[in-house]
Amino acid sequence: MKGYLGIDVGSVSTNIVFMDEQTNVLESLYLRTNGQPVATVQKGLGQIKEKLPAKVVVRGVGTTGSGRQLTGIVVGADAIKNEITAHAVAASHLVPGVQSVLEIGGQDSKIIILRNGVVTDFAMNTVCAAGTGSFLDQQASRLNIAIEEFGDIALRGSTPVRIAGRCAVFAESDMIHKQQMGYNLDNILAGLCEALVRNYLNNVGKGKEILGPVVFQGGVAANAGMRKAFERALGLEVQIPKYFNVMGAVGAAMLAKDAVSKGVPTQFKGFGVADMEYKAGSFECDGCPNLCEVIEMAEQGKIIARWGDRCGKWSNALATREASRSC
Amino acid sequence: MKVTFPHMGYMYISLKGMLEYLGIEVVPPPPCSKRTLNLGVKHCPEFACLPLKLNVGNFIEAREIGADTIMMAGGCGPCRFGYYAYVENEILKDLQVHFNLVVLEPPEKHIGELLGRIKKITGNQPWVKVIKALRFGYLKARAVDQVEKSSFQKRPRELIRGATDRALKQAIHEIDSAQTPQELTTAEEKSREIMESISIDINRPVLKVALIGEIYTLLEPFANGNIERHLGNLGVEVDRSMMLSEWINDHLFMGLIRNAPSSKRFIKVASPYLNHFVGGHGQETIGAAVWYGQQGFDGALQILPFTCMPEIVAQSILPSVSGDTGLPVMTLIMDEHSGEAGMVTRLEAFVDLLQRRNEQKEALTS
Ligand code: SF4
């Protein structure tokens, strides 16, 4: 069997998928990054290899997410792409003709606007916690309900309570207030979903023309209450793709397929990467008052990458060969 | 008297050239760094913008190495920059960091006004000499601009990663070291040779992206997260809507030097969208988007400091410019919390967007 690997390394979670030549996702894996992207990817590669038939041939590998560069170097990626492009590629593959992609993950959320299959606009929010999955997690645990039940309970709310959703701090105190006033849980949760959707549309989706088909992806898409709140706010049907949770990795695998499509041999170093020794070290450069914390990655004792320098003094020094472009 | 001034990209070369020509001792602040920013953030109001914080950091660091007089530009109109020099001086006074302050308000009617204000620093030196010094400073700015422009073209095409960065540093040093107009001519020649020596791949396809927006964040690489370098490394040729020499000619010399590019070209084409002054360079930003759209650029990036009012006005108008001209525009807002990694992700995504658009266009026409 031949196929492609897609790896999405974020600050919270790491996803790996294996996709066959017909772009069917055969295996997918979700791991917590725990601040150790390389070790997590190694572990993930080991696990996915176990799941796949012994004679599998990896024809290409793609990486995305905030750890894309690092992981790309470690595994030998054919495509190293930012998460916005990867998500857009995956969405337009799984839902042909999609014009708007709403994405809410644990730490950040984004919106991608496509027209005629091409990204024409996007926005990303990483600062405001009120617009992300971890905010929902927090509120669920404060109300003592499991996050998995959140959506179903919210769906039962027939008259959502209006909750100030501009900022996580306001939302939380407003919610406590509404609870004390005696509103029932269904309606509070439904109201929370609406507040989150309002926050998302005002901050991330500000000024963007959201046309159907609309795709909603990222971890929060599992929450049925959120989907309903989006449908109400937009007056459009909202679709949730089959692999809503691992779209970044799906996109990365597709981009890898693209990259090797013209007969370019893959750079993949093989599943043996899982057993190699990688060591990340760091030092403070005293070349100037920026005092950059330069991080370096060694593979079997040999430095293979450095980054973190503002001026390029260290990262450029390793790259004296033909400049490799990541785009 | 040891004169210092805030950093704004390579402006120090021009100012230093001018003042030293008059025999005035100059102490430029150390280049903007994390330390500069930390000092500024610590001592400035939180909601002040990034330029103010970096300016204050610059002054504190310049005082440490012996500067005692600040020379700074003033301004007018709705932008807060006009009173920055005074506010900064008050902050410094509170910190017991004492300076003499000389504010150079831009002339309103005639270049003579500028000369009058400069006199506070130049003392009784003859006018002819002051004018020659101003000219020398201007020539240095122009020489630096040439080198920078050439780096914009070389970087996306360089064969060895980092070659442009190294050459740029050397070439700038040549210009900075020139003491007289004669030496400057030689230095310009040398810097051109240095830039020419970068080996490039002429045939590599590159995207063209314009940088527009607020002057400080456009010119100071520390404030914009080295955006020109990042874009160049992503295979993008950039064009900056504001070069120092142009700004000097437009605002300080009041267009005295003919045949130099001027921001007037932006104001003219801005009028269907915004035809009056909104402070700062808000109007120029709109005009620049229109102008670069007409020049067939692939995209534009607007850069502004968080809380910058004129640029916020411009930002709200840019979507309609974008809609009419078809030029994709993305806005990047800079402050002390902006992380370079997040910026690079957005830049990469924007470059992808432009590239795919291009591929689609080619597919349609071929
Ligand atoms: S890596 Fe460059 S910018 Fe960072 S501290 Fe060293 S010399 Fe300064």
Ligand 1 atom at minimum distance from A291 CA: 5
Domain boundaries, chain B: 3-125, 138-202, 206-365
Superfamily covering domain A96-240: ATPase, nucleotide binding domain (3.30.420.40)
Q: Is B201 on the interface with A (CB under 8 A)?
A: no
Q: Is A126 on the interface with B (CB under 8 A)?
A: yes
Closest CA–CA distance from residue A207 to any residue of chain B (Å): 8
Q: Are A118 and B165 within 8 A, CB to CB?
A: no
Please give the distance, rounded to the nearest whole angstrom, from the Cα atom of residue B25 to the centre of ligand 1: 28
> How far is Cα of residue B209 from the mean position of the Cα atoms in its chain?
16
Fold of B3-125: Rossmann fold (3.40.50)
Are B3-125 and B206-365 equal in CATH topology?
Answer: yes
Per-residue pLDDT of chain B (366 residues; tens, 9 = 90+): 899 999 999 999 999 999 999 899 999 999 998 899 999 999 998 888 899 999 999 999 999 999 998 888 776 655 677 778 888 888 988 888 888 888 877 666 666 777 777 777 777 788 888 889 989 999 999 999 999 999 999 999 999 888 999 999 999 999 999 999 999 999 999 999 999 999 999 999 999 999 999 989 999 999 998 999 999 999 999 999 989 888 888 777 777 777 777 778 888 888 889 888 877 788 889 999 999 999 999 999 999 998 888 888 899 899 889 889 889 999 998 988 777 788 888 999 999 999 888 887 777 666
Which residues, 6 or more positions from B300, have their beta carbon under 8 angstroms from its beta carbon? B209, B210, B211, B212, B288, B289, B292, B293, B327, B328, B329, B330
Q: Where in the sequence of chain A do the CATH 3.30.420.40 domains occur? A: 2-88+248-275, 96-240
Q: Is A116 on the interface with B (CB under 8 A)?
A: yes
Fold of A278-326: N-terminal domain of TfIIb (2.20.25)
CB A186, CB A154: distance < 8 Å: yes
| CA dist list (Å): A40 to A16, A45, A301, B76, B148 | 10, 9, 19, 56, 42
Q: Are A82 and B319 within 8 A, CB to CB?
A: no
Q: Which CATH number fits domain B206-365: 3.10.450.50, 3.40.50.11900, 3.40.190.10, 2.60.110.10?
A: 3.40.50.11900
Class of domain A2-88+248-275: alpha beta
Alpha helices in chain B (DSSP H): 11-21, 34-43, 50-64, 84-94, 111-122, 127-154, 163-177, 181-196, 215-219, 227-233, 244-247, 264-270, 282-294, 309-325, 340-365
Local structure of B160: helix, strand or coil: strand
Q: Where in the sequence of chain A do the CATH 2.20.25 domains occur? A: 278-326
